[in-house]
Amino acid sequence: MNEDEFAELLESGAPPQGRSRPGEEVRALLADESVWVEPDPAGADTLLRAIRRASVSPWEVADDDLAAPLPPASGNGHGPVLTPVGATGSGRGAHAARPGARRRRPSRVPLLAAAAALALIVGVLAALVVLGGDDHHAPEFALGGTDLAPGATAWATVEHQSAGVSIKLDVRGLAPAAPGTYYEAWVEGREGKVSIGTFHMRGGDGWIYLWSGVDPAEYPTLNVTIEREGGALGWSGQIVLHGQIVA
């Protein structure tokens, strides 16, 4: 089959004569959704953050971590158990971008050296945060979607200010709140729950700016719930995002 015949086969799909003709599989692929599906438009930025993070902490992209299974979200509204990854204050890694991914102990000897280097970096960055360092070194942590929002994730940045604690959420994959409802963020500790802001996501993925007047050290859990307009004020218990604050 020459190139012209191949082009004709691709375009017209002329039926085979006698036996399967070469090129039909290629034509079949053109009708396969897998060759037309588009990647996540935010994927390049996610990759960039992962690379920046990995440049600081090689642990974050260890093969074992990358291959770790994702535990299913629980059905009670309390989603995957999250492993904070922001103690160093660095960016989001591929592993970190998937909250709930199981962590494994690095098994490679060179990682011991990396661990020592990491500990030094942690110390330096923590000092910068305590001393009011810039936003790039603010503690970060991940939130995972629950069964109510299985495709949702968020990356949170915590910054202590004179007026309280600023928590910025970079929310991805959370559907716009249905008419008559809204999202509410809560911090939770032994003393109870405190609302730190509401939002609706009707403008699509993006940043949410929240303020907490209580100390995250005393209220270490962050949940986002669905609430109903005009309903009773207070906690609905319908959690869509869940995570542990690293502050």
Partner 1 sequence: MCPEDADLVARFAAGDDLAVKAMYERFARPVLTVAMSALGRRDLADEVVQMTMLKVWRSAGTFDPTRDLAPWVYSIARRTAIDVYRRETRAPVPKVFVEDDLTVDAPSFSRTWEAWEVRTAIEKLPTDERDVVRLAHLAGLSHREIADRLGVPIGTVKSRSARAHRRLASLLGHVVRVTEP
Give me the residues that bind partner 1 (CB under 8 A), please. Answer: 1, 3-4, 6-8, 10-11, 22-23, 25-27, 29-40, 43-44, 46-48, 50-52, 54-55, 61, 63, 66-69, 94, 97-98, 151
Pick 32 or 191: Cβ nearer partner 1: 32
Name the residue with tokens 């802001």: 197
CB of 212 to partner 1, least distance (A): 31
Please tell me whether residue 98 adopts helix, strand or coil conformation. coil
Neighbour count for residue 227 (Cβ, 10 Å): 19
For residue 246, give every residue at least 6 positions away whose Cβ sits within 8 Å of its Cβ, in sequence order, or none: 84, 86, 87, 139, 140, 141, 158
Cβ-based nearer residue to partner 1, 90 or 212: 90
* Integer Cα distance of 31 and 39 in angstroms: 18
* Least Cβ distance, residue 156 to partner 1 (angstroms): 20
**Toward partner 1, which CB reaches closer, 19 or 190?**
19
* Cβ proximity to partner 1, 30 vs 217, nearer residue: 30
Helix (H) or strand (E) holding 228: strand 221-228
Return the number of the residue (142 or 187) whose C-beta is nearest partner 1.
142
For residue 19, the minimal CB distance to partner 1 (Å) is 9
Query: Min. distance of Cβ 85 from partner 1 in angstroms?
Result: 15
- Give residues with Cβ within 8 angstroms of 49, minimum separation 6: 91, 92, 93, 97
Which three-class secondary structure state does DSSP give residue 93? coil
Give the nearest distance from C-beta 241 to partner 1 in angstroms: 17
